[in-house]
Chain A
Amino acid sequence: NAGVTQTPKFRILKIGQSMTLQCTQDMNHNYMYWYRQDPGMGLKLIYYSVGAGITDKGEVPNGYNVSRSTTEDFPLRLELAAPSQTSVYFCASSKDDRGNGNTIYFGEGSWLTVV
Chain B
Amino acid sequence: GESVGLHLPTLSVQEGDNSIINCAYSNSASDYFIWYKQESGKGPQFIIDIRSNMDKRQGQRVTVLLNKTVKHLSLQIAATQPGDSAVYFCAEGVIYNQGGKLIFGQGTELSVKP
Q: Which residues of A contact B (CB under 8 A)?
A: 4, 31, 33, 35, 40-45, 48-50, 56, 58-59, 90, 92, 94, 96-102, 104, 106-109
Contact = CB atoms under 8 A, between A and B. Distances in A.
Interface of B: 4, 9, 32, 34, 36, 41-46, 49, 89, 91, 93-107
Contacts of B94: 99
Nearest to B47: A101
Contacts of A49: 99
A109 B41 contact: yes
Which of B43, B49, B91, B101 gathers the greatest number of chain A CB atoms within 10 Å? B43
Given A101-B34, A101-B49, A43 B99 contact: no
B100 A97 contact: yes
A98 B44 contact: no
Given A99-B32, A108-B42, A42 B99 contact: no
B89 A42 contact: yes
A94 B100 contact: yes
Contacts of A107: 43
A106 B89 CA distance: 14
